[in-house]
A and B are shown apart, each in its own frame.
Chain A
Amino acid sequence: MMRFADGDAAAFDALYSRHRGGVYRYLLRQCENRATAEELFQDVWMNLVYARGRYQVQAKFATYLYTLAHNRLIDHFRRHKRLHLVPLADEDADPGELQASPALQPDRNAQAREQAARLLRLVSELPEAQREVFLLHEEGDLSLEEIAQVTGANRETVKSRLRYAMDKLREGMKDYL
């Protein structure tokens, strides 16, 4: 990031290729809309580009990047009053598959797709704070301390939220595990 702050455009490409997927999925799982996620995703990276001159090394770059994404999401939620859109899993998946018993699905690939869709649906059904902690932990590979830094919560709260999130997901996926 320091190289990019000094005007090295190639350094930006390296940063982008390394974090593009995680940030995008973090935004997508949070706002649950692909177009909105892409808009927010673009805003996050543009904010990073514009703020490159003010960048100071205070933490891991991923922490800084996900802080930008978190703040952008907060702005988005405040502006749109947290509209509950159609869950992402419902956009592509057949609702009937999610409700069907896995034992009745002989096709293995279809079963895996069903398990993934259910898992994503469970993630989307997590409370917002737990979902955010879970996504930052899984998509951003952030530690508890880094998640606490991004969200502004203390470490114990983050740890508790993460534990609750993992317990709910495990409970929702107990039929597939």
Chain B
Amino acid sequence: MSAASDDRELEQALTDAAQLRQRYRAASQDEPSAALDSMISSAARDHVSRAAGRGASRFASAWRVPLSIAAVVVVSATVSILVGERHGQLPRGSDRSVSASGASEDAKRIGPGALQEQMPAAPAAKSQSRERVGAEQPQGAAPNAPVVILHRAGSEVRSAAPERAPSQESFRIQQPATQPPGPDVTSPAAPPQAPPPVMASPSTALGRSASLRDEAQAPEHAQENRDRVPSERPPEALRKDRSAQAVAPAAAAAKIERDGAEAEDKLTSAKPVWESDPQAWLKHIDELRLAGQRADADASYRAFRDRYPDYPLPPGFVVPER
């Protein structure tokens, strides 16, 4: 008997048993209880939800170690950078404090212009330097010379650290009481003023004059210095500065030269009065010659000619000879 005929026989048997099958299906109506249905359904839902939670926890557990390592690396790197910056700044800051504390000697030796060149480039270091300058200012120091230096240094520091609040710039107000009540150049309300004329020593004045000449010879540097300061100046001071900036560079250079000449005049004020007056100088030379001090007269005449090479000699003046 082939499989096909067997299938046909089975189909026939099933057809013949259709009534039997129908009766069986009618008789077999057993169903699981509702409690069993709800229990199975809730168990399935719980399993699905737990599986979702396990999936999330599996993700968390899989990434817990890498994330922890990454966090440790980030924190370590940050701390290392901060510590490195701090250690890297301390020597610079201490150097600056040393140079600033000895600023008066430096200024006397090389002048404020050179001091400007020594100012640090980093704003933080400048800030520290400024604070140390204020803190290490000797109580019994001469009031004038340090003030000049501090003004220069303070200007430079302020220009390099504009983010500091103006109130924080008034550290110089807390200077020792031994200082004279001069104008507070760092007060936000006070307009910027030129440093007080200080003639503590000729070298200081010469240094100041040399600095002014340097600025005149390099107007871009002077302009740069002026550009830095107004950021913390009051508005009226800024207006003045801007109007001053509008002046031709030649006028600015002439003003600087004039300031330098005044400084030199004040410097030479320690010399005899006749050296500032050619006629009086010639008269002095003539008096030396008549007094028989020919060597002095000759030396003075040579100095006169060095100073006034084209000055016409008055009639009757006898050139002294050795």
Could you tell me which A residues sit within 8 Å of B by CB distance? Answer: 4, 7-9, 12-13, 16, 20-21, 24-25, 28-29, 34, 38, 41-42, 45-46, 49-50, 53, 112, 115-117, 119-120, 123, 138-139, 144, 156, 159, 162-163, 166-167, 169-170, 173, 176-177
Q: Which residue of B lies closest to A24 (CB)?
A: B32
Q: Which residue of B lies closest to A167 (CB)?
A: B13
Contact of B41 among A16, A38, A116, A144 (CB under 8 A): A16
- Are the CB atoms of A12 and B41 closer together than 8 Å? yes
A-B CB pair tally, cutoff 8 Å: 97
- Are the CB atoms of A162 and B10 closer together than 8 Å? yes
The verdict on B306 contacting chain A, using a C-beta distance below 8 Å, is no
Contact of A49 among B7, B19, B26, B44 (CB under 8 A): B44
Contact of A9 among B24, B25, B48 (CB under 8 A): B48
- CB contacts (< 8 Å) of B39 on chain A: these are 42
The verdict on B280 contacting chain A, using a C-beta distance below 8 Å, is no
12 residue pairs of the A-B complex, CB under 8 angstroms, read A4-B44, A20-B31, A24-B31, A45-B44, A53-B51, A120-B27, A159-B6, A159-B10, A162-B10, A163-B13, A166-B13, A177-B19
- CB contacts (< 8 Å) of B37 on chain A: these are 16, 20
Q: Which residue of A lies closest to B39 (CB)?
A: A42
Could you tell me which B residues sit within 8 Å of A by CB distance? Answer: 3, 6-7, 9-10, 13-14, 16-17, 19-21, 23-28, 30-33, 36-37, 39-41, 43-45, 47-49, 51-52
Complex Cα gap A50–B44 (Å): 9
- Are the CB atoms of A28 and B30 closer together than 8 Å? yes
- CB contacts (< 8 Å) of B43 on chain A: these are 46, 49
- Are the CB atoms of A170 and B20 closer together than 8 Å? yes
- Are the CB atoms of B23 and A16 closer together than 8 Å? no
- CB contacts (< 8 Å) of B3 on chain A: these are 156
- CB contacts (< 8 Å) of A12 on chain B: these are 41, 44-45, 48
Interface of A is mostly: helix
- CB contacts (< 8 Å) of B19 on chain A: these are 177
- Are the CB atoms of B9 and A21 closer together than 8 Å? no
A72: shortest Cβ distance to chain B, in Å? Answer: 14
Q: A7-B52, A49-B47, A139-B28 are in contact. Are A169 and B20 (CB under 8 A)?
A: yes
- Are the CB atoms of B32 and A116 closer together than 8 Å? no
Contact of A7 among B31, B40, B51 (CB under 8 A): B51
- Most-contacted residue by chain B among A49, A144, A156 (CB, 10 A): A49
Complex Cα gap A21–B51 (Å): 28
Query: Besides the contacts A12-B41, A166-B20, what 13 more A-B pairs have beta carbons closer than 8 Å?
Result: A12-B44, A16-B40, A20-B37, A45-B40, A49-B43, A49-B47, A116-B27, A120-B27, A138-B24, A163-B9, A163-B13, A173-B23, A177-B20
